[in-house]
Amino acid sequence: MHPDVKEIMFSESEIKNKIKELGERISNDYKECESITVVGILKGAVIFMSDLVRSISVPVFFDFMAVSSYSSSTESSGVVRILKDLDKNVESKHVLIVEDIVDTGLTLNYLINNLRNRNVVSLKVCTLLDKPSRRKVDVRIDYNGFEIPDEFVVGYGLDFNECYRNLPYIAVLKPEVYRK
């Protein structure tokens, strides 16, 4: 275990099992579709997306968006700026947004409204983690890996100051690390 980690919330094998389950549900729900355009939200969703797509049996296209919310360090403001937009037009596509975590919901709410205006056939959301107690705006999540309490977590793509994304599990850091 990494020396900065206080506690592992979800192990590699728990994540693996959950992704298999999500992939089966998604494959079943989209089985009549020609393809799914999976839109990963950079950078946090990269690791989750790369494992998730390998458990989906329907043909998948990849695209990515990067957004930044105008905020103080920890509080999301809801005003979102697109740093990187999609490469391809998603008109007439089945779009599945893949997120690492939904916290206040402000980022996702913005993305849903933004993508909905692009004449997609369908738009759904898959997130690995959900912190419902922090929600500021109601967003519909179609596929959710784990519901978690109001704790800041890292690993498996999620960062604290850009660190710890490569940890293979989801963890809570020691309090002294967050204070640095």
Report the interface residues with ligand IMP, using CB under 6 A. Answer: 44, 69, 76, 99-108, 152-154, 158
Q: What is the dihedral of CA 26, 133, 84, 110, to 10 degrees?
A: 90
Smallest gap from residue 131 Cβ to ligand IMP (A)? 6
Cβ neighbours of residue 68 closer than 8 Å, sequence gap 6 or more: 80, 81, 83
**Does residue 103 have an active-site annotation?**
yes
* C-beta closer to ligand IMP: residue 59 or 149: 149
Q: Which is nearer to ligand IMP, 23 or 155 (CB)?
A: 155
Cross-strand partners of 172? 7, 153
Place of tokens 């549900």: 25
Catalytic residue among 103, 130, 142, 159: 103
Question: Taking the complex as a whole, how short is the minimal distance between the CB of residue 177 and ligand IMP, in angstroms?
Answer: 13
Buried b (16+ CB within 10 A) or exposed e, 24-52: eebeebbeeeeebbbbbbeebbbbbbebb
What is the distance in angstroms between the CA of the first residue and the CA of the last residue of the chain?
20
Q: Please, what is the minimum distance in Å from the beta carbon of residue 83 to ligand IMP?
A: 13
Q: Which is nearer to ligand IMP, 126 or 158 (CB)?
A: 158
Catalytic center residues: 103
